[in-house]
Amino acid sequence: MSNWWKHGIVYQVYPRSFQDADGDGVGDLAGITDRLPYLADLGVDAVWISPIYPSPMADFGYDVADYTGVHELFGTMDDADHLIESAHDLGLKVILDYVVNHSSHQHPWFKESRSSRDSPKRDWYFWKDPGADGGPPTNWVSRFGGGSAWEFDEQTGQYYLHTYLAEQPDLNWGNADLRRAMLDVLRFWMDRGVDGFRVDVAYRAMVAPQWRDNPPNPDWKEGMDPYRKLQETYTKNLPDAHVVGRMLRDVVDEYDDRVLIGEVTLPVDRLMAFYGKNADEYHLPFNFNLIHSDWTAESVRAHVDAYEHHVPTTGWPNYVLGNHDQHRFASRVGPAQARVGHMLLLTLRGTPTIYYGDELGMPDGRIPPEMVQDPWELKTPGLGLGRDPARTPMQWSTATHAGFCPPDAEPWLPVGPGADVINVEVQQQETSSMLSLTKRLIALRRENPALHAGSYRSFDTPEGVFAYARQSPEDATDRFLITLNFTAETQTWTLPDGLYGTVEASARYGRRDDTVQGILALRPNDGLLIRIEHSP
């Protein structure tokens, strides 16, 4: 089936936190494989797994020491093969993370590169002499903590660039050998059956940087992320990122039916460039704008309308509400609006990505200071930047540790609050649970072309309400109206004249099958997915 990623739903698994099969308190590949039937039953189409590669775990796997291996914490290459095969047997695709911008400082490439100025791999990373004042070559700062992005290497007397931690040296995509090696990584995994990649910080990859100072950010204030003190004029979203995007796409296109997703944190207008001028870069440049938009009907509608307006006709939209770098969606908007948000996510035009546990409404975990793991939080404590709260164990059941690991194991992060009710076992039995709602919405999305392939049109509505219609490209009678109440009060909206429909799902109550026409009273924090039976 071609373009499965257009109609499908991506589910992100953070492998440390999904299911621990071997009892060391850290999730693993065998655990994910055990839980694939759950994902198939939920109705998603692809599982994207955050990095599983050998790594010293300075940034929990986003510091890769071997792109074609498996970390022993997660299992073996056989486990990876078994996971891929089991997923395919269940009709699920597998997407791996591809860390394009940097490796680990423990990668043999970097070890060799740092060994001497004459090393054949010296140029695989960015090495520079000290600046005029003997300090770092530019004023660039590290994304984590705001210290210099340059680390001095005593042995060879030069600095190397690290956009993230010093343990994550940046790769030089201007070097042909490095390029070949990195592109072969894609082939290695596709040969093993992997169906695509999520490219980490795709908008940062550099080929031929200009070594110039970044200007100060006039909007920065004390208490903000120190890294934001500078604007990133010379360090991100450069034309280079597109050069690399096209190279990756060329390789992905050597294989049938694979998908290339890019992590691109940019406003809508600049995001579009990552589809590629000739639709030759990312199939799906991740759209994080719902994460960054205020959670009001007006702001969300403005975003969706603008995004819809900008997505090129050769491109395909996508939406994300949460991931391993953000506070949990249910904590950002509250549990009631989390349900409305998922009705939105699963009824918009474009590929939705669901972060593990968000289908249950899992909130942020509470991490006592002595249990903090995330290097970002450790470097800038107390600013609310830490990502551990969104990485707590998946909540499977009412068992000890929510069923994430055996009772006698200690999970690497504490189980989040409310796990006695916010878990798969309990929510599977309740028809009105968030899990049952998510499952129903996914099923409706699959069954109805209007919802997975149809057009999008929004309506002018009273404040607090966002309403839009989806209509099948092939069948004019296959159409839906979605009305979402972003407030905790009842809102009324007069439906378009003559419109008559059946409610297929309610965000607040789950399944409903009453009919609507005329004046619609939308209950507090409710959303309705209405099948249009008649409309003039």
What are the residue numbers of the active site? Answer: 200, 254
In the complex, the smallest distance separating the C-beta of residue 394 from ligand GLC, rounded to whole angstroms, is 18
Rounded-to-integer distance, Cα 479 and Cα 305, Å: 19
User: Which residue, 93 or 204, is less far from ligand GLC as judged by CB?
Assistant: 204
Site for ligand GLC in 433-492 (CB under 6 A): none
In the complex, the smallest distance separating the C-beta of residue 325 from ligand GLC, rounded to whole angstroms, is 5
> How many residues of this chain interact with ligand GLC, rule: CB under 6 A?
9
Residue nearest to ligand GLC (CB): 62
- What string of H, E and C letters represents the secondary structure of 244-257? HHHHHHHHHCCCCC
Q: Based on the shown chain and the rule CB under 6 A, indicate whether residue 355 belongs to the binding site for ligand GLC.
A: no
Residue 535's identity, in one-letter code, is S
Decide: 97 and 197 in contact? Cβ < 8 Å.
yes
Site for ligand GLC in 13-72 (CB under 6 A): 59, 62
How many Å separate Cα 37 from the centre of its chain? 22
Show the DSSP H helices in 106-217 as ranges.
108-115, 176-191
DSSP string, 483-498: EEE-SSS-EEEEPPTT
How many Å separate Cα 473 from the centre of its chain? 28
In the complex, the smallest distance separating the C-beta of residue 295 from ligand GLC, rounded to whole angstroms, is 22
> Is the backbone of residue 237 left (phi > 0), alpha (psi -120 to 50) or beta?
left
Tokens of 327: 């506070």
Q: Give the H or E element holding residue 329.
A: helix 329-333
Q: What share of the chain is helix, strand, coil (3-state, %, to 5)?
A: 30, 20, 50
Give the contact letters, 295-324, x = binds to ligand GLC (CB under 6 A), - = no. -----------------------------x
Rounded-to-integer distance, Cα 9 and Cα 83, Å: 19
In the complex, the smallest distance separating the C-beta of residue 485 from ligand GLC, rounded to whole angstroms, is 32
Q: Of the candidates 359, 501, 504, 486, which has an alpha carbon nearest to the alpha carbon of residue 444?
A: 504
In the complex, the smallest distance separating the C-beta of residue 194 from ligand GLC, rounded to whole angstroms, is 18
User: Which residue, 200 or 526, is less far from ligand GLC as judged by CB?
Assistant: 200
In the complex, the smallest distance separating the C-beta of residue 244 from ligand GLC, rounded to whole angstroms, is 15
In the complex, the smallest distance separating the C-beta of residue 413 from ligand GLC, rounded to whole angstroms, is 15
Give the contact letters, 75-114, x = binds to ligand GLC (CB under 6 A), - = no. ------------------------x---------------
Decide: 62 and 447 in contact? Cβ < 8 Å.
no
User: Which residue, 263 or 359, is less far from ligand GLC as judged by CB?
Assistant: 263
User: Which residue, 99 or 297, is less far from ligand GLC as judged by CB?
Assistant: 99
User: Which residue, 69 or 418, is less far from ligand GLC as judged by CB?
Assistant: 69
Rounded-to-integer distance, Cα 379 and Cα 62, Å: 17
Gyration radius of the chain over CA positions: 24
Strands 515-517 and 455-458 turn out to be unpaired
DSSP string, 432-479: TSHHHHHHHHHHHHHH-HHHHH-EEEE---STTEEEEEEE-SS-TT-E
In the complex, the smallest distance separating the C-beta of residue 163 from ligand GLC, rounded to whole angstroms, is 8
Decide: 357 and 390 in contact? Cβ < 8 Å.
no
User: Which residue, 258 or 324, is less far from ligand GLC as judged by CB?
Assistant: 324
User: Which residue, 288 or 480, is less far from ligand GLC as judged by CB?
Assistant: 288
At residue 515, φ and ψ (nearest 5 deg) are -105, 155
Decide: 492 and 517 in contact? Cβ < 8 Å.
no
User: Which residue, 318 or 461, is less far from ligand GLC as judged by CB?
Assistant: 318
Site for ligand GLC in 149-168 (CB under 6 A): 164
Site for ligand GLC in 243-282 (CB under 6 A): 263
Among 28, 79, 195, 200, binds ligand GLC (CB under 6 A): 200
| 400 SS3 class | helix
Among 178, 201, 465, 530, binds ligand GLC (CB under 6 A): 201
Among 325, 428, 446, 496, binds ligand GLC (CB under 6 A): 325
Give the binding site for ligand GLC (CB under 6 A).
59, 62, 99, 164, 200-201, 263, 324-325
